[in-house]
Amino acid sequence: MTNNSTVLALKYRPVNFDQLIGQELIGETIYNSIKLNKVPNAYLLTGIRGTGKTSIARIIAKVLNCKNGFENLCKDNFCENCEAITNSNHIDIFELDAASQSSVENTRELIEFSRYAPTSSKYKIYILDECHMLSKQAWASLLKTLEEPPEYLKFIFATTEIRKVPITIVSRCQRFDLSRIKSDQLFQFIKKITEKEKGRVTDEALKLIVKLSEGSVRDALSLLDRGLLSNSQGEELDLIKAQKIYGYFDKSSLIELFQNLFKGDENKVINIYRKIYEAGVEPKIFLNDFLEILYFIKNISSIKLDGTNFSLNDDEFNAIDKISRTINPKDIILFWQFTIDTIDELDIVANPNLCVEMFLVRLMYLKDFKDSVITKDKLDNTNNEKKTSASNKIVDQIKNIAQQDEIKPKIKSQETTSKLFINNFEELIELCIKKKEIKLKYELESNVNLVTFVEGRIEIAFNENLDKDFIKELSNKLYEWTNTRWIISLSKKKGLISKKQEEKTNKDKIFDNVKKNKIYNTVLEILPDAELVEFKKNEHKDD
């Protein structure tokens, strides 16, 4: 580990393969290739942030250029080359940020300079970080050099977005995919760092750090650094304090919110959420954690509490397991979709906090959710009297205005009960005119290329000018008008031209025919500057 910085992420950065966390197999593979003298022209390292891409690139440079040889690689007392590579100032090792040097001119300079042999080491090495930022022209200029470079020249590419790297480049590199670090492995690592730094942190707080880091060593060390700096006069960083520092709230409060949500207790649900919000939790973070609890409720039977899962403790696991036994899985899917839609709404409303409160209230007013709970109680109760009382109790608890309205007798008009039939595309356009749906009529005539039309199903070709909400709006209107669910799908087929385009084509043909008429040509002879703008068909036959 380096000791040139007080920042933990830099202080404990690995300097050889033995110090790598979670990437031991990759380190062993690279070392064996060097040992067998099968060093590739270029390495390609890909993975999420903080898993060791740049560190491995530097270690490869050290192994190839260490003055003691790869078998006696420097570990403590660095040789001149290893020391310079560690400090990023070696004359033959070039670390480039592809984000700031992405042009073809930068690449040409690199290729031109690579023609010269290394000055003080065996290999000249170029390390390109975030290489996916290079332009297409820059990649193209590198192709020939990558395929047949001089023996002394090696490339090491690092990227977090491998899909943006051209396949022609990937095929010329030896690729290594760095995985996320396992929770138990990362936990043991930061626990050792805490002891070395003489910090006092509870295991629960360390597990929270591991969870928030999402498998990234650098993120874990940065979070640990913040936690240790928050301690004063030998205080211990416990879970409650860590949650405040990192803006994270205890899952037990969210589980309690779920319990009251399923009971329909609006006051308790809102009060619990407001306490979470007042603790500094952003609405979007709350909804993401809400989704996580929904996932656990749906899949609790397949989740195990072991050394690799720090998302739940025993009490939380048991509480979620109890909830999952009393709720229909279909309702969880419904809740999931509502939550996703609400996350999208947060970017629209001025006060996201109010949006979340209304979201929680809406969940308690879901008719389908209440009905499914009653059905589940009916299945569980064999006694008719108990079954009726249980159902009535839930009806009282979950405030469902929609169902209360259904109890009242309604007299439906003949217009709402009668079912409309739409036999073809033209009838659909006429219906839009009748219903005064001008926007739908415009889209149907101007931007819809019809492939097939049968009752209940419309297939149209893809048109980039089509309004993004067109399919959703048309589906809703068709269901409202016909009382039938219509399937509207996009097809790869070309489809017919739009009605507007068809009208324009027909009109152009008629214009061409009119221009061939003798009367039109006679008019042009008299008025050579005249231009045909419009015409009307004579309905009366000439004598």
Residue 36, amino acid: L
**Mean pLDDT, to the nearest integer, of 152-172?**
92
pTM of the model: 0.58
183-245 to CATH, choices 1.10.8.60, 3.10.310.10, 3.40.50.150, 3.30.70.1450: 1.10.8.60
The residue type found at 412 is K
pLDDT band at 373 (very low <50, low <70, confident <90, very high): very low
pLDDT digits (tens, 9 = 90+) for 131-159: 998 888 888 888 888 888 888 999 999 99
What does the domain layout of the chain look like in residue ranges?
A: 8-177, 183-245, 251-364, 425-496
Q: Of 201, 179, 176, 180, whose CA–CA distance to 191 is shortest?
A: 201
Output the average pLDDT for the chain.
80
Any idea which fold 8-177 has?
A: Rossmann fold (3.40.50)
Least confident of 89-93, 391-395, 450-454: 391-395
Mean pLDDT of 68-79: 79
Mean pLDDT in residue range 365-389 = 46
Tens digit of pLDDT for each residue in 26-58? 999 998 998 888 999 999 999 988 999 999 999
Instruction: Report percent pLDDT > 90 for the chain.
Output: 15
Whether domain 425-496 has CATH 1.10.3470: the reply is no
Give the mean pLDDT of 426-440.
86
d(CA 129, CA 121): 22
**How far apart are alpha carbons 336 and 49 in whole angstroms?**
28
Angle of helix 53-65 relative to helix 24-35, nearest 10 degrees? 20
Q: Where are the alpha helices (DSSP H) in 45-166?
A: 53-65, 80-86, 104-113, 136-147
Yes or no: say if 86 and 15 are a contact pair by the CB < 8 Å rule. yes
CATH architecture observed for domain 251-364: Up-down Bundle (1.20)
- DSSP H stretches of helix in 300-424: 314-324, 329-345, 352-364, 367-380, 384-397, 401-407, 414-417
pLDDT, average across residues 159-182 = 91
